[in-house]
């Protein structure tokens, strides 16, 4: 046989919780920024991010994919994130930081849909997000 199956653990996961849906999306973005080492103190520039999805889970994945694109492709380093509008199928927000082609601490190829759910736990919302690293 010319190939064999091997175990490979290239994925990385984060568990995020927050007291509101908007806060959950912002905290997930912050976690992505921290994992990548893309945090910067300067907030001299602003990038708008608007995306749509078919439900909250799809919307969260697409939101994080857009932020990943800004970090990895556009070399945008982020001081903080603010969501302006969030409903069941659309999120619009801003990334504050600056374009700075500094090396990242980690590498994430994609935000995945693997087992993603957003659920209410007590008085908070919680999700687990898997990154293809």
Contact 82, 26 (CB under 8 A): yes
- Structural contact between residues 12 and 35, judged by C-beta atoms closer than 8 angstroms: yes
What is the pTM (predicted TM-score) of this model? 0.91
Which comes out higher in pLDDT, residue 31 or 133? Answer: 31
CA distance 106 to 104: 6
Domains and CATH numbers, the chain: 11-132 (3.55.10.10)
The 8-class DSSP code of residue 41 comes to S
pLDDT at 79: 98
Question: Does position 7 have pLDDT exceeding 60, yes or no?
Answer: no
Cα-Cα-Cα-Cα dihedral sign, residues 98, 91, 53, 34 = positive
Please give the Cα distance from 7 to 66 (Å, whole number). 30
Mean pLDDT within 102-117: 92
Ranges 8-17, 77-86, 122-131: which has the least confidence:
8-17
d(CA 23, CA 89): 16
Write down the mean pLDDT value for the chain. 92
pLDDT (0 to 100) of residue 1: 47
């Amino acid at each position: 046989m010319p190939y064999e199956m091997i175990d490979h653990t290239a994925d990385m996961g984060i568990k995020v919780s927050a007291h509101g849906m908007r806060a959950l999306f912002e905290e997930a973005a912050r976690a992505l920024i921290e994992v990548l080492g893309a945090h910067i103190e300067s907030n001299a520039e602003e990038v708008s991010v608007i995306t749509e999805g078919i439900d909250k889970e799809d919307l969260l994945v697409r939101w994080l994919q857009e932020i990943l694109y800004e970090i990895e492709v556009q070399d945008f380093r982020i001081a903080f994130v603010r969501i302006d509008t969030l409903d069941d199928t659309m999120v619009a927000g801003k990334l504050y930081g600056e374009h700075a082609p500094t090396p990242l601490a980690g590498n994430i190829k994609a935000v995945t849909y693997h087992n993603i759910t957003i659920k209410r736990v007590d008085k908070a919302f919680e999700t687990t997000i898997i990154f293809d690293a």
